Chain A
C-alpha cells in the first residue's frame, strides 16, 4: 500500500508569517492529494486538494504544490492568522482502490498572535 510521511510534526509561527508543511508518498500511482484541517474536538475538514495532472493550486491564502517526479507535495499558508491554528493532515489516494486515503501523521500548527 501507500506510505505517506509528513513533516514537521509541530510548527509554530508568528502571526502574519508563512507556514509550510511537506509530505512525501511512495506509490507513483497516487493521483489525488487532499489536505485536511482538524480543529480540537472536531472531525477533519478538507481545505484544499490537488490532482496529479496539476502542479499547483491556490485558494486565497492557501496553496498546494505537487512534484510528481520527486513524489512530494506541500501545503503553503501565507499571512497566517490565529484561527489557522489546528492540526493539518495530508493524504494520498491511489486510483481504483475505492477512494482509500492514506494519511500522514499530522502537523500541529500554532500561530502566535
Chain B
C-alpha cells in the first residue's frame, strides 16, 4: 500500500511558468488537502476537498487552483509561478472528519 504519493519530488521553475503538482492516494479517503510549509510559519492550508467534485479555499489560496475529478487524485496548479511560491508542498488525505490526516512525502518547489 503506497498511501499518498506526490510528484515531482522537487522542481526548479522559472517565474511566470505554469506548474502542476500531482497527488494520488490509494486509501479511498474522501477528503484531501494541500499545504505549504515555510520555515517559521508551519503548515498552512492552501485548498481542500471534502469529496470528489467539490473544493474549498484554505488560509492561503491566492495563486493556486485545484480540481478533484475523482477520489484518488488532487492536483495543485500554479498558473503563473512567482518567487514567493517557493516552498515545500504537502498533500494530505483523511477519512470522515475529524480525524487523522495522512501526509505525502512533499514536493520542494523553487521559483526563480
Contacts and interface: CB of A to CB of B under 8 A. Distances in A.
Interface string B76-111: 000000000000001010100111111111100000
A53 B104 CA distance: 30
Nearest to A104: B42
Contact of A103 (B42, B56, B94): B42
Contact of A44 (B44, B59, B98, B103): B103
Interface residues of B, number: 28
Given A43-B105, A98-B48, A98-B56, A89 B43 contact: yes
Nearest to A45: B103
B40 interface: yes
A100 B100 contact: no
* Interface size grouping (class) on chain A: 20 to 34
Nearest to B51: A98
A93 B101 CA distance: 11
B103 A98 contact: no
Interface string A74-113: 0000000000000001000101001111111110000000
A32 B42 contact: no
Contact of A99 (B40, B59, B97): B97
B2 interface: no
A89 B103 CA distance: 13
B31 interface: yes
Contacts of B44: 103
Those 9 A-B pairs whose CB atoms lie nearest each other, nearest first: A99-B97, A43-B103, A32-B98, A105-B42, A103-B43, A103-B42, A98-B50, A93-B98, A46-B100
